[in-house]
Each structure stands twice: as structure tokens, then as C-alpha cells.
Structure 1
Amino acid sequence: MSEAKAEPGAKAWKRAAAAIAVFVALIGAVFYFAPDNAYLWIKAMHVIAVISWMAGLLYLPRLFIYHHQSAVGSGTSETLKVMERRLFRVIMNPAMMISWGLGLYLAWDGFGFIGGWLHAKIAAVVLMTAAHVYFGRAMRAFGRDERPATERAWRFLNEAPALLMIAIVLLVIVKPF
């Protein structure tokens, strides 16, 4: 039996670890080689991480809808378990952590954590993180062949990250207060 068969997803984990290492190396290189432009580079990397996190937050509930429609123990159900787990652990978790880390740096360095719009944005990101945690619990429940919510509920929950994203983008761009 090959190593890939013995440990499903081992190659995906290695690629994810390599991508995170490259990302961290880029951040270090920015501070070393371009300290005067570090803020803009960090902001760009923050946006990249947020886009990756959002892609997962928008896609995972859609996978839950498909999973809810599949029969327990079916090949489709088992495939969806793997897809959900890899999406959550290999893409969403690292992207969320990088988004938070870089975002807090930007809030501190750029604004000194001052501004009503910034506090509202952080509150919306906390809600986004709560959705992330809830989706993680649901992923583990689906992994145990449980159905933690109805298909209709997942269709509704699929929209929550998009609404939070809209609020966050408006707060960041418009800075209404």
C-alpha cells in the first residue's frame, strides 16, 4: 500500500504547510527588505488571507447542503467528509489565523486601535470567527454521520458570511463613524 493511501491527505497537508511557510517567509522578507513599505505589503497579504478564508466560509456550508442530501455511509457522503475536513483544516484555519494576525497588526500600526468603524469591523470579524467555529463543529458532526441542522438552515447559514463580509468591506472602505 502506498504512503498516500495509508494517510489520506498527507500531500495536501504538506502543500498547506509549505504555503504557510512561504507566506511567513514573505512577511519576514517584507520587514527586512522593505520596512518603509511594510504596512502596504502586510495589508496586501491580509487581503489575500481574508479572500482565502472567505472562500472557505462561503463554500463549506454549500458542501454541508450536499452532504445533508447524501445518504449516510454512501460514497458521496464519505467524499464530502474528506472535502470538508481538508477545506476547514488546510485552507480555512490557516487563512483565519493569518487574517487575524495581520489584521491586528494593521489595526495597531495604522490606527492604534482607535475608531468607531474599526471597533465595529472587529466585532463583525468576531462574528465571522464564531461562524467559522460553528462550521468546524458541524464538520465534525457530519464526520460522525450526524446532521446538525436542516438543509434549509444550511441554505440560510450559507448567507451569513457573505452578509458579514459586506458589512466589513463597507466599514473598511467608507469608515462611516
Structure 2
Amino acid sequence: MTGFLGLAYPWLKAAHVIFVIFWMAGLFILPRYLVHHQEGLAIDGEPERWIEREGKLRRMILTPSLIVVWVLGLVLAANLGLFEGQGGLGWLHAKLLLVLLLSGYHGWAVGYARKLNARKPTLSSKQLRMINEVPAIAVSLIVILAIVKPF
């Protein structure tokens, strides 16, 4: 389907996938940084190193990728007729819901990094390690929806 994008459609779709990969790379590493940051709170100089690493990851990869993913994704969705009530896009509605939840997870992780910056952790290291799996589960479901289009 090319819709209003015409020949630009596959290029925008490719760019969308590329930035999804960048975003997911950041979402896979940030929670691991948080575990190490939390476990290093009692070590002199260690928290400051994690604050710097997390900040660079957020500024250079996470936030720009999130923005590009959303912009391109919404343009591609519009191209498919999402905002015109096009039928047969149940899979896209479900995908958008999961991407919205994943964006919320992104926000939570950034917020938890701020808690660690203030030396006020609220989760155990084990809980953080469990929460690390959220992006993998979400992206697996998103890929299935986008490729299989089950409904």
C-alpha cells in the first residue's frame, strides 16, 4: 500500500524500522544501567558516572529515536487510512496501544533514573531486573502485530 506517500512509502517505512531499532537498543540498555546505578549508590563516584551515561543515552539515542518513531509511525498510519476509519486495521490499533504503553515505560525509566540521581530508589535490584524484560515482551508483540496482522 502506497497511499498518499506514493514512492516515498517504503523509504519512510525503512526509516521507521531503523529508528525503532535505535529506540529499542536504548530501551534494552537503560534499565540495565539503572540496575548498575542502583547497586553502585554506596560506592564513591559511581553514581555520578551512571548519571552521565544515562544522560548521554537519553539525549543521544532514546529521546530523538522516540520522537522519530512516533512521527514516522503516525505518518505511515495515516497513509494506511487509520484516521479516515479504514477497515481491517485492528492490528494497527493494538500495535499503537502497545507503542503507547512502551512510551510510558520509557518515561517511567527516565523518571526512575531521576530518583536514583536523588539517591531515592524505590525498587529492589531484583524488581528492576524483572522490569528489564518489559521492552522485549512489548517489541515481540509489536513485531507480530505488524508482520502477521492477525486482525
TM-score over 0.5 for the pair: yes
Q: Which residue, out of 54, 58, 68, partners 1:84? A: 54
Matched positions, count: 142
Partner of 2:122: 148
Cα distance per residue 1:88-109 (max 9 Å; x no partner): 1221011001000000000111
Contact kept in structure 2, 1:68 and 1:147, CA below 8 Å: yes
**1:166 aligns to 2:135 (yes or no):** no
Opposite residue 125 of structure 1, the aligned amino acid is: V
Give the structure, 1 or 2, with the largest relative contact order (CA under 8 Å, sep 6 or more). 2
Q: Deviation at 1:73?
A: 5.9
Partner of 1:176: 150
CA RMSD of aligned residues (A): 1.3
TM (norm. structure 2) is 0.89
Partner of 2:75: 105
Q: Post-superposition, which runs of at least 4 consecutive aligned residues in structure 1 deviate over 6 A?
A: none
Q: Deviation at 1:129?
A: 0.5
Identity %: 39
Q: Equivalent residue of 2:7, what SS?
A: helix
TM (norm. structure 1) is 0.77
Contact kept in structure 1, 2:31 and 2:128, CA below 8 Å: yes
Structure 1 regions of 5+ residues with no counterpart?
1-34
